[in-house]
Amino acid sequence: MQRNLTNLMRSMCRIVAYLVLASAVGVRAQSDTSPTVTQQLAAQSAVTSGAPISLDLRNFFGLPGVSDQVVRFSTTSGTINVEMLRQAAPLHVANFLNYVNSGTYANTFIHRAAPFSGPNAAIVQGGGYRFVSSNVIPVTKNAPVVLEYNVPNSRGTLAAARTSVLNSATSEWYFNVADNSTTLNQSNGGGYTVFGRIIGVGLNILDAISVLPRGSVTISSISLSDVPVRNLAVGFVASNLVVVTNITPVAIYPGQGSPSVLTFSAESSNPGAASVAIVGSTLTLTPGTTAGLATVTVRATDSNGSVASSGFAANIAVAAVAPLVVRSPTSQVVANGGSIAFTVLATGTSPTYQWRRDNQDLPGTNSPVLLLRGVTGADAGIYTVAVTNPAGSVVSAGATLTLAAGGTNSRLTNLSIRSFAGDGAQTLIAGFAIGGSANSSLVIRGVGPTLSVFGVPNLLADPKLDLFVNSNSLLSSSDNWSGNDGSAAGGFALPVGSKDAVLTSTLASGPYTAQVTGIGGGTGTALVEVYENAPVVAGNELVNLSARTQLVGSDVLIGGFTLTGGSSRTVLIRAIGPGLAPFNIQGTLTDPRLEIFRNADKVGENDDWAGSAVLRDAGAGVGAFVVADGGSKDAMLLVTLAPGNYTAQVRSGNGTSGVVLLEVYTF
């Protein structure tokens, strides 16, 4: 067959019965073996700057039905990938790979594109000759191989060329361009061994070679016919031949430094969140420093340029920061039947909370605030809280709850608001409420010029104080004080003749507002104060303080209150900006921040209340209006405080200006 296969086929006359073993040995018919997605890549989740994620792409891409050794025919016309059929023809595969590994086929040429009938080539043959310095040189041949006819010579298969002697195949091979299964079979001369098949779209390269012009040449004693050439007019020269530059064993999947049928590439739509790199068959996804969503597209490309692609989403979240207790709950002494709120301040990513009494978990206590109502001796003990997130867990210091023997709750005895004041929309409005059934004697002051003693700048020079019941009925007014300056009730002394304003009133229980404006349109910082005046009426007490004002830039709204008595008292303090929207108040402060101080020591703070169920229930318990939006940036604190003087300070959390409401409720 090596030089005159056509004549040999014409002379075959003996028909030998044969059994095609294709199904018995598991050989596949010619099929599409381009890259394909065998399994979709799954979405990946990670945290910023987290550990890289590795994916073995061999689990997601493949060549359908290809499992044996693959060799690559690199030709001047293109690349043809061929899978060995070791199970069908083990001797021929071993013989062929021996030639391949020894480099025998390097720079050989396709020396035959032979038609069996008609003008078109039925086979394309090589593996026998090199063309060197205008000479045709045969390759060195090894011993022949015994015929292994088990697979038909169907289109796209690779077979061993031989002479009329059945067991004469050595180095030469041929591709079946046409379906030659009824021509080159056992019935026609004993058959020809098929030991490989083209995979991918290499058939396109084979077809292109088969339709090239064909010529003949005789050099020395070698005569070749049907040689495919690129330019028949030029003649038989090296540049016109279809040269097989090399035949190389290749892996299906890439590895470091090894050739392969498939190569992989990948790209990320958001490299800042997730970057991707591929080494061999391993994709490494590296989380970036920016949280976000990235779409990763992965492509498998074979050496013929066919592509299969698959994508997945990479969700990169902010890395969890281990929890840290910034402020542990503080020990408290409360009266029997009173209420207490233990509060913990912790940092960390999305922490969860579990309160404990004497190291035993308290069911359903999963908030940073633990509220106990109507406490009894059974509630006494040491309270801690475990703060946990995926990055770790920490337990707060313990706080002791002690019941005061025969004690009563502390009471509010002084309320104050310091803020900017003026006329119209700049009026400083302080609300307060009296609880009980009897009348209470109060001293109410509007202080401006005397604040200079404390170094307060930009003072309201001449404040006017108006007292209203139910916010709309004027009870009394004061411009410049005379007689009683309120110092006997606990206030600092006012200089005689100062333009501060003072009112002394006996008031029934209920809500009131004290409003400060500037005489003559004046503006500046002013202080509203409410003091219990002796004698104190048992059962009556101040139960609420509120103030609404506009903060500008770095302004601070300061609310002061005093708790007097022998035990602690629980108070709810709220700084409401966005939560005022249902009341049609325009220009509210978008992000109030609340801090509580005892003298210079900060005892509590809150930026966003986060829809806390405990805070919502506490607000309902004291009659505060509902903040419906749990995601609003209003600030709230529920704290139990020992007797003493406190200030609640409200600032803008984001530097913007707006209207804000400060509220203090006893609980």
421-441 tens-digit pLDDT: 888 878 888 999 998 888 889
Residue with tokens 């029997």: 336
Query: pTM of the entire structure?
Result: 0.58
CB 160 within 8 A of CB 173: yes
CATH code assigned to 408-545 = 2.60.120.380
Write the class of the CATH domain 552-667.
mainly beta
CA distances from 336 to 380, 401, 529 (A): 10, 11, 31
Tokens at 178, concatenated: 């046409």
Contact of 79 with 303, CB cutoff 8 Å: yes
Mean pLDDT throughout 223-238? Answer: 83
CA angle, residues 63, 65, 67, in degrees to nearest 5: 85
Rg of the chain's alpha carbons, rounded to an integer? 47
pLDDT of residue 256: 61
Domain 36-62+254-317, CATH 1.20.200.10 — does that match? Answer: no
> Residue written as tokens 């978990």?
361
Confidence label for 239 from pLDDT (cuts 50, 70 and 90): confident
Q: Report the C-alpha gap between 44 and 53 in whole angstroms.
A: 8
DSSP string, 260-297: BSEEEEEEES-TTTEEEEEETTEEEEEE-SS-EEEEEE
CATH topology of domain 324-404: Immunoglobulin-like (2.60.40)
Structure tokens given for 235: 């003649």
Domain residue ranges of the chain, discontinuous segments joined by +: 5-30+68-249, 36-62+254-317, 324-404, 408-545, 552-667
- Give pLDDT tens digits for 118-162: 889 999 999 999 999 889 999 999 999 999 999 999 999 999 999
Q: Per residue in 527-557, pLDDT tens?
A: 999 998 877 777 788 888 898 888 888 889 9
Helix (H) or strand (E) run with residue 646 in it: strand 644-652
Is residue 21's pLDDT more than 50? Answer: no
- The pLDDT assigned to 89 comes to 97
pLDDT of 32: 65
Q: Can you list the positions of beta strands (E) in 390-534?
A: 392-395, 399-404, 411-421, 428-435, 440-447, 463-469, 473-478, 501-507, 510-518, 524-532
Sorting pLDDT into bands at 50, 70 and 90, what band is 391? confident
Instruction: Select from 410, 414, 433 the least CA-distant residue to 508.
Output: 433
CA distance 249 to 41: 29
Q: How far is CA 638 from CA 157, 514, 561, in A?
A: 82, 25, 15
pLDDT at 53 over 70: yes
What is residue 13's predicted lDDT score, i.e. its pLDDT? 26
Could you give the percent of the chain with pLDDT greater than 70? 94
User: At residue 452, does pLDDT exceed 70?
Assistant: yes
- Give which of 262, 219, 266 is closest to 241, Cα–Cα: 219
| Angstrom distance (rounded) from CA 195 to CA 189 | 18
CATH entry 3.40.30.10 includes domain 5-30+68-249: no
Min mean pLDDT across 25-29, 424-428, 435-439, 492-496 is at: 25-29
pLDDT at 24 (0 to 100): 32
pLDDT for 407: 67
Question: Residue 557: beta bridge partners?
Answer: 650
Q: Compute the distance between CA of residue 136 and CA of residue 519 in angstroms, rounded to an integer.
A: 117
Neighbouring residues of 642: CB distance < 8 A, sequence distance ≥ 6: 332, 333, 410, 563, 568
Give the pLDDT confidence of 606-657 residue by residue, as tens digits.
999 989 999 999 999 898 999 999 899 999 999 999 999 999 999 998 889 9
Model confidence at 257, pLDDT cuts 50, 70, 90, reads low
Does 552-667 match 408-545 at the fold level? yes
CA distance 588 to 654: 13
Average of per-residue pLDDT values in the chain: 89
As a whole number, mean pLDDT of residues 566-586 equals 92
**Residue 340 has what pLDDT?**
92
Whether the predicted pLDDT of 31 surpasses 80 = no
